[in-house]
Structure 1
Amino acid sequence: MTRFQVATLVSFASAAWLCAANWTRPGGTGPAYYPPVEATQIQTDERSVQAMHPVLEYGRFGEWDSTQNYGCTVLVVDDEIVLYYLGADWGHGHRHQLQTLRAAIGRATLRLDGFVSLRADEKEAVIATKPMVFAGKNLVINADCPKGSLAVELCEGDGKPIPGFTRQDADIFTDDNLRAVMTWKGKSDLSALAGKTIKARFFLKQGDLYAFQMK
């Protein structure tokens, strides 16, 4: 059996707290071993409500990684986030029957930007961004809603819908795509909005919105 020695346990939440400029460490100042991966409620004003679910759960009882797992730096390979981790089916204090204990390297994968999403059920949800200066010529989304729908409305900085880019003009997205270019009556070119302050409203039903970007 190969012995593994882990000098320090670094949590995902701790790493994010050290690297992010505008991120509030969940759970106060104590140890945090799981990052927030799902918002528990949606409000119209600023909020910080997280559900502390693990990104990488232990294996089920009897499986090789049922008791311990230690992750390392994540990698981006093709269109997936890849995490190699040490897993074991024994805990601290085991001194006997080493021949029955197991430890191995596991490989976990996640879609790009898949750590967190805005999720809507059968009831349509509306997500509005803060004002932002548009840069680029397309609005690209990472979303999964083959059983639902997603439409985007573009607005002036004051919230007034921009003619030609209203919800009524929006083409409905019903797919699972990491880089879907949004369109309005077949039009995707947003060059005319470059440099302008806008807001985006996402109308989401039975699906997940992981990310959006201007390109």
Structure 2
Amino acid sequence: MNPKLLSRRRWMLSTAASTLVVASGSVRYPSFAGGPSAEAQPIGSRRELFVDEALVETRDDVDLVMHRPRDEGQVLAFDKPWEGGFSAYATVIRDGDRLRLYYRGLGVAGQDGNRSETTCYAESTDGIVWTKPNLGLFEVKGTRENNVVLADAAPVTHNFCPMLDTREGIPADQRYKALGGTVKSGLIAWVSADGTHWRRLREQPVISSDRVPYPHFFDSQNLAFWSAAEQQYVCYFRVFHDKIRRIARSVSDDFVEWSAPVLMGYRHRGGESPIEHLYTNQTHPYFRAPHLYVSIAARFMPGRQVLSDEQAQAIHVNPRYFKDTSDAILMTSRPGSEVYDRTFLSSFVRPGIGAHNWVSRTNYPALNVVQTGPTEMSLYVNQDYAQPTAHLRRYSMRLDGFASARADYHGGALVTKPLTFSGSQLALNFATSAAGGIRVEIQDASGKPIPGYTLAESREQIGNEIERVVAWKSGSDVSALAGRPVRLRFVMKDADLYAFQFGDVASP
């Protein structure tokens, strides 16, 4: 073979087994044998993301790669007299064409659950420009001209965390629900019809302190949501275990009676994960794949001081709040699981440049990732904690873009575990270079290519799209394979594969 041609094709992989190489213009794709047959996982028409290895059987020169979100700048200053440097525990909720933001307002540090804490509200239509409506509901700091939705409700305003209840048949006056409280009060449930006018669901806590078998708990943002995948409410809350901040999980059929809490474990690529202080967990169903729970948690590093006294004085941080550091990490879990997958141990959101980013309890993510554009979603992060410049910041990602399966220029392949699907087409969220590409082969459960869907018949996918329907020489229809155990083999060069989904997708 011509040495120059050999060099251009050096990306092709050799394996111990014989390798079939299929020509396809300027890109050539190696063949990788599938693994042994296993019980098929039913995925129906769900969108599946490459944030963990739940569906991955083998990877040959394909890595799972985390994608850090892009800093889009400050979107909301906590600059009102009833807000301030200790504003925290933000929640972002999409309700139709409106985004609602809830957060604690607090200007001066004090005991958890003190009367000075309020719950504030802002809203947006695009997730970029936010306004603080003048609600006139409570008098705070001598005025009713404010954006406060809850006051004089200590201790729930310490960490009041709302949710939009998507359960079918929910009474209109309970469309919004929330939890708040401390170790002394337990978690108290509140409800609302419109997200701004709130009332207690009942006087006594729904998760009482005597039911939590840990020495300290609830002193953080404690969240709940209706899980369509589990058909029950799920609550994740903060506890201490062996003097480390951990996460516990409880479930309920009615938001009133909750199961005994279970301590969540951590797993890293099939093995044990380091156990680190997680101050908040921010677990939520991913809006494009509700069977996947995404957790963008605040990792707290107690005693890991960066700033000198002089640096701290220069940024006017409260002197009690620069002895530690914190950032955000990415974890995932699945319905019913008592384990988080920490596929990526590195930080998801790193502290930025400047002393103000390296203080205690800053870089804490808001609850929920939301869509903010046709191809974009956003994450919000509290920054400059305990400083006069405290604010909320926006970070952007492509849809499904938490992580990807990536092959470099030399190429690689990923084979899924056996699965069953429904629908007539397969769509990919992917990106390639101009020289790269992705081909898809459908195999039977034993790893044998299925005629009509082999690598040789696969049409190369080149580009950068959120949803591209895959085709073979015979077309894109895969309905003949629906309900049948199959494997997918993605053969890739200089490409990222973020997600795939079967269904009835309109062709581009």
Q: Give a deviation string over 1:62-93, Cα, whole Å, max 9, x none.
A: 5x6454212112212343221122111x66xx
> What is the Cα deviation at residue 116 of structure 1?
1.3
CA pair 105-49 structure 1, distance change in 2 beyond 3 A: closer
Q: How far did 1:30 drift?
A: 4.0
Q: Does residue 1:31 correspond to 2:277, yes or no?
A: yes
Partner of 1:84: 380
TM-score of the pair, normalised by structure 2:
0.34
Partner of 1:196, secondary structure, is coil
RMSD of the alignment, in Å?
2.9
> Which residue of the partner structure matches residue 40 of structure 1?
none
Give the direction of change, closer, same or farther, for the CA distance of 1:49–1:82 in structure 2 (3 Å limit).
closer
Q: Which amino acid aligns with 2:444?
A: E
Instruction: Structure 2: state its 5+ residue gaps.
Output: 1-78, 89-158, 160-219, 223-235, 238-246, 251-263, 268-272, 279-298, 300-328, 333-340, 504-508
Is 1:179 the counterpart of 2:467 in the alignment?
yes
> 2: CA distance between counterparts of 1:49 and 1:71?
17
Q: Where do 1:27-176 residues align within 5 Å?
A: 27-32=273-278, 33=299, 34-35=329-330, 50-61=343-354, 65=357, 67=359, 68-73=362-367, 74-78=369-373, 79-88=375-384, 101-147=388-434, 148-176=436-464
- Give the drift of 1:3: 2.8
Q: Is the 8 A contact 1:132 1:199 kept in 2?
A: yes
Change (3 A) 1:145 1:162: same
Q: Secondary structure at the match of 1:3?
A: coil
Task: State the match for 1:94 in structure 2.
Answer: none
Deviation readout 1:139-192 (Å, 9 max, x if unpaired): 111111133111000011111101111111111111111111100026111111
Task: Return the index of the structure with the highest Cα Rg.
Answer: 2
Corresponding residue number in structure 2 for 1:43: none
User: Structure 1: which amino acid aligns with 2:381?
Assistant: Y
Q: What is the percentage of aligned positions where both structures have the same residue?
A: 29
CA distance in 1, matches of 2:493, 2:342: 21
Moved over 6 A (4+): 14-17
Alpha-carbon separation, structure 2, partners of 1:187 and 1:31: 51
Distance apart, 1:102 and its partner CA: 2.2
Flag the 1:56–1:144 CA change in 2: closer, same or farther, 3 A.
same
Rounded to whole Å, the distance in 2 between the matches of 1:152 and 1:24 is 35
Q: TM-score, normalised by structure 1?
A: 0.75
Unaligned ranges ≥5, structure 1: 38-47, 92-97
- Of 206, 209, 214, the residue aligned with 2:497 is 209
Corresponding letter in the other structure for 2:377: I
Question: Aligned pair in 2 of structure 1 residues 49, 28: CA closer, same or farther (>3 Å)?
Answer: closer
